[in-house]
């Protein structure tokens, strides 16, 4: 299809294409290894059936998982593994995740552990999945102590960001994607809002692909993709995941800006630029929940999977985003005060 854009994630013998555009799902058939005989489609009830591609001459089994973070668990993975076994899925077959970030995380992790690893592809059906979750090989599930604390790096063989899916998304789902999209403004230090949506998605994919190619296992630069996420995950846990991920990220981005200012890394004018993008461009929420417990959030953030030897944040500076550890609790508290002062 002439309107399909392709971004390559370059990881030597594990490199793969990401197709972006309307009907991108139809590009996956040509990427399937000839040895594959069965496709295990992992999806959810809310995903339109027409977004699941058809593969001629391949036996297809569909497995539906629950909606919501409460289903992003080891129990769901175990259920899928048992169902795969009952269906005769073997190591030479293929898992296809069709859905948003929860689906691609769970499908990818199940593919990584079933028979010690089989191939996986994704059709991302949400804006969040297209620009973040489906790309890069990070997979995982939650436990009560934190989000995505159990997982594996397992790269897909191809990803389709099918923009047909965006036509059926509600405002809540779009906000989830916009929160992640906002972070790319700060990673790239570019105003991405000047691009049409399709090109903007492709640009976000390219930014992530370049970072993943240089740091697949998050030993350095890849952590920049977590801008705003340290507080965001704590907010999600505190609200029992009733606050959408992208909205939580938007609040986390603003909190990180205030923390950077408290630590003398950026001026007030740069903090205002964060508000201009998060709220001005994407019209995202900028407020913490009314009953948010900052002390409990600090405890939660210490357990975050990105923490190194101490509490770790991705913070802005005059030279761009940087990974900073050894954050002082008094600075965290002062940043919470600054964020709340802007909510009134």
Q: pLDDT-based confidence at 63, cuts 50/70/90? A: very high
pLDDT reported for residue 140: 95
Among 205, 117, 119, residue whose Cα is nearest residue 161: 205
More confident residue, 302 or 179: 179
Q: Are the C-beta atoms of residues 98 and 43 closer than 8 Å to each other?
A: yes
19-23, 56-60, 208-212, range with the lowest pLDDT = 56-60
Q: What is the DSSP string of 103-161?
A: HHHHHHHHHHHGGG--EEEEEE-SHHIIIIITSSSEEEEEETTEEEEEEEE---SEEEE
> 5 - beta bridge partners?
20
Q: What is the mean pLDDT of the segment spanning 136-157?
A: 93
Q: Determine the Cα–Cα distance for residues 88 and 99; give it in Å rounded to an integer.
A: 23
The DSSP code for 148 is E
Q: Determine the Cα–Cα distance for residues 119 and 85; give it in Å rounded to an integer.
A: 15
CATH classification for the domain delimited by 216-341, as one of 3.40.50.300, 1.10.3720.10, 3.40.50.880, 1.20.1090.10: 1.20.1090.10
23 CB-side CA count, 13 A:
4
pTM: 0.91
Look up the CATH architecture of domain 5-168.
3-Layer(aba) Sandwich (3.40)
The residue extents of the domains of the chain are 5-168, 216-341
> 3-state DSSP call for residue 248?
helix
More confident residue, 307 or 268: 268
Q: Determine the Cα–Cα distance for residues 90 and 39; give it in Å rounded to an integer.
A: 10
> 121 - beta bridge partners?
96, 158
pLDDT reported for residue 56: 86
């Amino acid at each position: 299809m002439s309107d399909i854009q392709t971004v390559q994630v370059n990881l030597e013998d594990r490199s793969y294409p990401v197709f972006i555009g309307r009907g991108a799902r139809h590009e996956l058939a040509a990427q399937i290894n000839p040895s594959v005989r069965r496709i295990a489609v992992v999806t959810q009830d809310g995903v339109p059936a027409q977004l699941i591609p058809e593969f001629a001459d391949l036996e297809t089994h569909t497995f539906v998982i629950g909606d919501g973070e409460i289903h992003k668990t080891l129990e769901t993975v175990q259920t899928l593994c048992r169902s795969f076994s009952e269906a005769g899925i073997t190591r030479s077959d293929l898992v296809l995740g069709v859905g948003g970030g929860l689906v691609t995380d769970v499908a990818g992790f199940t593919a990584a552990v079933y028979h010690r690893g089989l191939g996986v592809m994704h059709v991302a059906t949400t804006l969040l999945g297209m620009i973040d979750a489906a790309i890069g090989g990070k997979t995982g599930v939650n436990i009560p102590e934190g989000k995505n604390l159990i997982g594996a790096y397992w790269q897909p063989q191809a990803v389709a960001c099918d923009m047909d899916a965006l036509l059926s998304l509600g405002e809540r789902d779009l906000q989830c994607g916009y929160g992640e999209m906002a972070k790319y403004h700060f990673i790239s230090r570019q105003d991405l809002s000047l691009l049409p949506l399709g090109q903007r998605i492709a640009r976000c994919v390219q930014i992530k692909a370049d970072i993943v190619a240089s740091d697949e296992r998050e030993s350095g630069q890849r952590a920049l993709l977590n801008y705003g996420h340290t507080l965001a995950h704590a907010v999600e846990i505190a609200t029992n995941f009733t606050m959408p991920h992208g909205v939580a990220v938007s609040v986390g981005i603003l909190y990180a800006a205030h923390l950077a200012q408290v630590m003398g890394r950026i001026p007030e004018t740069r903090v205002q630029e964060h508000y201009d993008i998060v709220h001005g461009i994407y019209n995202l929420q900028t407020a913490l929940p009314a009953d948010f417990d900052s002390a409990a959030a600090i405890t939660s953030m210490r357990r975050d999977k990105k923490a190194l030897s101490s509490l770790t944040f991705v913070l802005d500076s005059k030279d761009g985003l940087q990974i900073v550890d050894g954050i002082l609790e008094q600075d965290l508290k002062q940043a919470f005060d600054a964020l709340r002062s802007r909510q009134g």
